[in-house]
């Protein structure tokens, strides 16, 4: 019987390999902790893997310590012996080591299975995308219907509304946005008036700048820009807030306690958006008129001329049409923000994705709705 001792750099463990025909004897000496197991791993496994022995005996009498690393080595030995058609036998195992090994000895090792990535054809990809779009459309329709019912019930039964949450949301949606919406309106009115005046100055038509500014701001730009700002600021905040609650399972907790997340979270945000967006649109329009007045005063026109030209061609239909647009845009933006928050999935980036989707979806819905309004106002002669 030939014997050879394989020494390692670390004195914590060593292995003595004794082959004898179809039998192999392994004598493990020392501590089978992580460094010791690593130092003798290859020297222990390779003889079993390459020798094709029918019987492998491991003498454990000289093992002074064993932990999970050592157990993993013995399990790997059993696996390699089984692959060669042999059997593994542990001899002289101490009682304290036997208790640890018994915990995992009867378990099979986890097998790593390589999964080939499925290659789908064009038809399957189109079908899967269509299915996702239809599911998203179904969720959107269901959300709109449930939100409409909740809002109607809130109007009929105002005592059931959490008005404290509504007022707090009004502050976040409207009051905190007042400075930026006013500044943006002033700058847009200033820029549009200046650019228009420079272009019309060639034809002596500067006097028509107030007419253009009033119609454009009250009918189109006021509600549109306000809604886009609401989508970027409040819609994303709604999605992030509800999405974080979804990940933390707070929505499930509300449902378990018998509280409707729609009534508890979504309705206050919708009501606050309905209340504040028309007011924000008014501030935007007035600030834009101030910007236009600054330009007209700099061109030598008196303030009374500017105001008379603005309001002489601006009718109640233009004003009410812009306010109606603002109401519809507010429902779209606040609703899509809450919907994307409810649809938040699990994962570290889920809230960010929901926030991004809320802003993008809100702006797209605003554009579609604005186009529908343009066609409807044209045929209704508004």
pTM of the model: 0.65
The answer to whether position 26 is within a domain reads yes
The answer to whether position 121 is within a domain reads no
pLDDT at residue 110 in the model? 63
Q: Which residues contact 331 (CB under 8 A, 6 or more apart)?
A: 147, 270, 273, 274
Q: Is residue 146 located within the same domain as residue 274?
A: yes
pLDDT at residue 116 in the model? 57
Q: Is residue 209 located within the same domain as residue 177?
A: yes
The answer to whether position 112 is within a domain reads no
- Alpha carbon distance 52, 54 (integer Å): 7
The answer to whether position 265 is within a domain reads yes
- Alpha carbon distance 299, 328 (integer Å): 38
Q: Is residue 221 located within the same domain as residue 273?
A: yes
Q: Is residue 130 located within the same domain as residue 101?
A: no
Of 105, 139, 157, at which residue does a domain stop? 105
Q: Is residue 229 located within the same domain as residue 93?
A: no
Beta pairing, strands 55-59 & 23-32:
parallel
Q: Is residue 91 located within the same domain as residue 139?
A: no
- Alpha carbon distance 246, 100 (integer Å): 41
The answer to whether position 115 is within a domain reads no
Q: Is residue 203 located within the same domain as residue 308?
A: yes
- Run of H or E including 65: strand 63-66
Of 74, 105, 136, at which residue does a domain stop? 105
Q: Is residue 252 located within the same domain as residue 326?
A: yes
pLDDT at residue 6 in the model? 40
Of 105, 136, 165, at which residue does a domain stop? 105
Q: Is residue 145 located within the same domain as residue 248?
A: yes
pLDDT at residue 108 in the model? 64
Q: What is the mean pLDDT of each run of 10 residues along the chain (382 residues)?
A: 41 77 82 85 81 79 83 82 76 80 71 60 83 84 82 82 87 88 92 88 83 88 91 88 88 84 86 90 92 89 86 83 90 89 83 89 90 89 79
For the chain, how many structural domains are there in total?
A: 2
pLDDT at residue 40 in the model? 86
Query: Exposed, middle or buried: residue 157 (CB in 10 Å: 0-12, 13-18, 19+)?
Result: exposed
Q: List, in sequence order, every residue forming a beta bridge with 23; answer none if it has no partner.
A: 20, 55
pLDDT at residue 114 in the model? 55
Segments in 118-171 forming alpha helices (H): 122-156, 163-170
The answer to whether position 45 is within a domain reads yes
Q: Is residue 29 located within the same domain as residue 136?
A: no
Percent composition of the chain: helix, strand, coil (DSSP 3-state, to 5): 70, 10, 20
Q: Is residue 232 located within the same domain as residue 282?
A: yes
Domain range for 327: 126-379
Q: Is residue 48 located within the same domain as residue 133?
A: no
The answer to whether position 116 is within a domain reads no
């Amino acid at each position: 019987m030939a014997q050879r001792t394989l020494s390692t750099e670390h004195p914590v463990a060593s292995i003595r390999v004794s082959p004898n025909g179809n039998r192999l004897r392994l004598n493990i000496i020392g501590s089978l902790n992580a460094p010791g197991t690593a130092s003798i791993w290859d020297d222990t496994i390779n003889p079993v893997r390459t020798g094709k022995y029918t019987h492998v005996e491991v003498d454990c009498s000289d093992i002074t310590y064993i932990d999970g690393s050592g157990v993993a080595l013995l399990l790997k030995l059993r696996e390699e012996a089984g692959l060669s058609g042999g059997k593994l036998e542990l001899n002289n195992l101490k009682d304290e080591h036997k208790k640890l090994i018994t915990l995992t000895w009867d378990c099979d090792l986890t097998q790593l299975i390589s999964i080939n990535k499925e290659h789908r054809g064009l038809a399957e990809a189109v079908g899967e995308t269509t299915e996702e779009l239809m599911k998203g459309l179904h969720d959107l329709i269901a959300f709109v219907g449930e939100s409409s019912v909740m809002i109607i019930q809130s109007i009929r039964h105002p005592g059931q509304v959490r008005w404290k949450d509504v007022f707090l949301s009004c502050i976040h949606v409207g009051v905190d946005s007042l400075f930026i919406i006013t500044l943006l309106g002033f700058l847009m009115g200033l820029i549009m008036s200046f650019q228009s005046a420079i272009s019309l100055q060639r034809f002596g038509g500067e006097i028509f700048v107030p007419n253009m500014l009033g119609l454009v701001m009250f009918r189109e730009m006021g509600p549109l820009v306000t809604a886009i700002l609401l989508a970027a600021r409040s819609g994303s905040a709604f999605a992030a807030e509800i999405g974080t609650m979804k990940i933390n399972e707070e929505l499930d907790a509300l449902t378990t306690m018998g509280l409707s997340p729609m009534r508890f979270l979504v309705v206050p945000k919708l009501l606050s958006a309905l209340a504040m967006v028309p007011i924000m649109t008014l501030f935007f329009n007035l600030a834009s008129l101030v910007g236009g007045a600054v330009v007209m005063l700099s061109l030598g026109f008196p303030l009374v001329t500017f105001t008379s030209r603005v309001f002489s061609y601006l009718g109640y239909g233009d004003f009410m049409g812009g306010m109606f647009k603002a109401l519809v845009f507010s429902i779209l933006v606040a609703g899509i923000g809450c919907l994307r928050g409810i649809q938040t999935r699990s994962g570290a980036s889920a809230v960010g994705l929901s926030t991004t989707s809320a802003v993008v979806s809100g702006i797209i819905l605003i554009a579609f709705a604005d186009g529908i309004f343009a066609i409807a106002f044209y045929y209704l002669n508004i």
